[in-house]
Amino acid sequence: MKRTYLGEFEEIVLLTVAVLGQGAYGVAITDELDRQTGRAVSISAVHAALHRLEEKGMLSSHMGDATAERGGRRKRLFSVTALGSRTLQEVREQRNRLWDSIAPQSLPAFGIVM
């Protein structure tokens, strides 16, 4: 199976959706990204990544119920699809293989302590 390219930002957005589970929507994803990575991102960048991931079939979405806290507006809730889950697993395995391929004696040269 040919894997669709997944950029670094798309990867962390996809991971964040997985972390949040059923509560994954734009603002919650943005807040969790900031909390987990210390990386302040705009809501529009997150929405663009969510849209790309949905087009690639790695996320699905549906409209949640209206809530009083949002003035009666509904949230678009996202979830990781089977393809998204497989892609995350493949990315993780690929990164692990690369990390495992670094010769232990060369790690200090890169400033890496294990």
pLDDT tens for the chain, 114 residues long, are: 456 789 999 999 999 999 999 989 999 999 999 999 998 999 999 999 999 999 999 999 999 877 767 667 788 999 999 999 999 999 999 989 988 888 776 666 666 666
- Cβ neighbours for 1, distance < 8 A, ≥ 6 positions apart: none
Choose which CATH entry (2.40.50.140, 3.50.50.60, 1.10.10.10, 3.40.50.1360) describes domain 8-110.
1.10.10.10
What backbone torsions phi and psi does residue 66 show, to the nearest 5 degrees?
A: -70, 145
Tokens (6 digits) for 20: 């949040």
pTM, rounded to two decimals: 0.83
DSSP 26: H
CA distance 52 to 59: 9
State the Cα–Cα distance between residues 48 and 31, nearest whole angstrom: 16
- Beta bridge partners, 61, equal 78
Question: Residues 78, 63: contact at Cβ < 8 Å?
Answer: no
